């Protein structure tokens, strides 16, 4: 186990040492999350995830897929419906010890007014106002494999990123995630996920007409230039425990910690190099049929109206129903990545085909 962890940790530390000066919160849409179950548990799932959403959270968890094929879809919105967030996933068993998955994420804001062409021949013409969309896409291919040691699995995800803002700006990017999951016989699970392990690169291209550049200049706005955006690695650690009460009742708890390397963030533990953001999720289950979930995350220090510093946190709740051929999950959660109170209703559904119990 240690031999597998050392290369990932060393690569993570070495990249973080050279990562000062890169922008914070790059490709932040990739960290919103997928699946209403994970939102209800404040995204604390990397050690216990065992369904199609593992392709996003921790590809190593795909090896515990209980069905030959799983399909999943999720929709949510935030900021009063201004932004829409969608996810779809497919996972299937490719052999006795390996699983493959495809995941797709879209976050977009549509109907944004374009006023860059409002001036024509020195006159203001509101009829020239058009609309455009700012959309982010991610396409992921995941592969998971059981390792020689019982209970240990490894997985990786290659992701292609497409970001676009109307006809003005567009970017292509590529990155890799890797994960480990270790399942013990006493219902303990441990996990390590290295997201953007080799850093993720977005190549931005900007296109403006001369007239649009003049408008931006007159408004004292800087004209963007073609550039390369880098997303630094993020390490996520997780530990989960399941307790069964009789034949019907169960309790699951999981603690995760996100370690970011893009400079000091407003988190519980922080340095100039690494910031640590812990979050906790719990789940009560009955007969593997009905689930009640809760979680706490986004623990930050804020300043109140009296200029006093206080600690704040974001509680989330959710429920789930697991039927024979499909499962439905709901969560009331904050899909943004700040401590601001911005709750959304999150729904997801998962279809199961050719179910075979492990």
How many Cβ atoms from other residues are within 10 Å of residue 264's Cβ?
13
Compute the mean pLDDT over every residue in the chain, rounded to the nearest whole number.
Answer: 85
Contact 140, 157 (CB under 8 A): yes
Residue closest to 84 by CA, chosen among 353, 352, 351, 344 = 344
Minimum mean pLDDT range among 58-62, 146-150, 200-204, 278-282? 146-150
DSSP state of 22: S
**Mean pLDDT, range 87-96, rounded to an integer:** 93
Highest-confidence segment of 28-37, 118-127, 133-142: 133-142
Range of the domain at 282: 2-355
Residues 185-242 pLDDT 10s: 889 999 999 999 888 888 999 887 777 777 777 777 778 888 888 888 899 999 999 9
- 3-state class (DSSP) for residue 31: helix
Q: How far apart are CA 141 and CA 56, in angstroms?
A: 9
pLDDT tops 60 at residue 4: no
CATH number of the CATH domain containing 251:
2.40.160.40
Pairing of strands 83-93, 200-206: unpaired
Model pLDDT for residues 254-272, shown as the tens digit of each residue: 999 999 887 788 888 888 8
Query: Using one digit for the tens of pLDDT, what is the confidence trace for 6-64?
Result: 333 333 343 344 444 455 567 788 888 999 999 999 999 999 999 999 999 999 999 99
* Local confidence band at 347 (pLDDT 50, 70, 90 cut-offs): very high
Residue 110 has pLDDT above 60, yes or no: yes
Question: In Å, how far are 50, 144, 270 from 286, measured between CA atoms?
Answer: 18, 29, 39
> Distances in Å between the alpha carbon of 228 and those of 79, 170, 245?
29, 12, 53
pTM of the model: 0.84
State the Cα–Cα distance between residues 39 and 137, nearest whole angstrom: 20
| pLDDT given for residue 336 in this prediction | 57
The number of distinct structural domains making up the chain is 1
Alpha helices in 158-260 (DSSP H): 210-218
Q: What number is the average pLDDT over the span 345-354?
A: 92
Band (289; pLDDT cuts 50, 70, 90)? very high
pLDDT (0 to 100) of residue 12:
39
Quick one: DSSP state of residue 116? T
């Amino acid at each position: 186990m240690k031999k597998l962890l050392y290369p990932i940790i060393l690569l993570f530390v070495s990249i973080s040492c050279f990562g000062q000066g890169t922008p914070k919160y790059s490709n932040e849409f990739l960290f919103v999350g997928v699946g209403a179950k994970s939102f209800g548990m404040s995204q604390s799932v990397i050690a216990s995830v065992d369904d199609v959403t593992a392709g996003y959270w921790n590809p190593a968890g795909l090896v515990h897929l209980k069905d030959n094929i799983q399909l999943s879809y999720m929709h949510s919105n935030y900021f009063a419906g201004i932004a829409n967030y969608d996810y779809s996933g497919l996972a299937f068993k490719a052999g006795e010890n390996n699983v493959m998955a495809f995941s797709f994420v879209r976050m977009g804001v549509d109907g944004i007014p374009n006023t860059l062409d409002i001036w024509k021949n020195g006159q203001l013409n509101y009829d020239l106002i058009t609309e455009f969309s700012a959309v982010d896409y991610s396409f992921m291919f995941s592969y998971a494999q059981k390792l020689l040691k019982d209970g240990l699995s490894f997985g990786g995800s290659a992701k292609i990123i497409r970001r676009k803002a109307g006809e003005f700006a567009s970017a292509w990017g590529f990155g890799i995630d890797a994960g480990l999951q270790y399942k013990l016989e006493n219902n303990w699970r441990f996990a390590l996920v290295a997201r953007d392990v080799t850093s993720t690169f977005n190549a931005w291209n900007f296109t403006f007409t001369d007239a649009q550049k003049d408008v931006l200049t007159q408004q004292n706005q800087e004209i963007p230039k073609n550039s390369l955006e880098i997303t630094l690695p993020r390490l996520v650690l997780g530990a989960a425990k399941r307790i069964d009460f009789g034949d019907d009742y169960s309790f699951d708890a999981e603690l995760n910690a996100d370690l970011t390397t893009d400079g000091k963030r407003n988190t519980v533990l922080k340095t100039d190099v690494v910031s640590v953001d812990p979050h906790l999720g719990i789940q009560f289950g009955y007969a593997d049929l009905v689930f009640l979930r809760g979680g706490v995350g986004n623990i930050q220090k804020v300043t109140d109206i009296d200029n006093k510093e206080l600690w704040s946190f974001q509680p989330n709740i959710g429920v789930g129903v697991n039927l024979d051929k499909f499962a439905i999950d709901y969560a009331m959660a904050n899909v943004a990545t700040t401590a601001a109170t911005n709750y959304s209703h999150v729904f997801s559904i998962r279809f199961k085909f050719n179910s075979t119990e492990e």
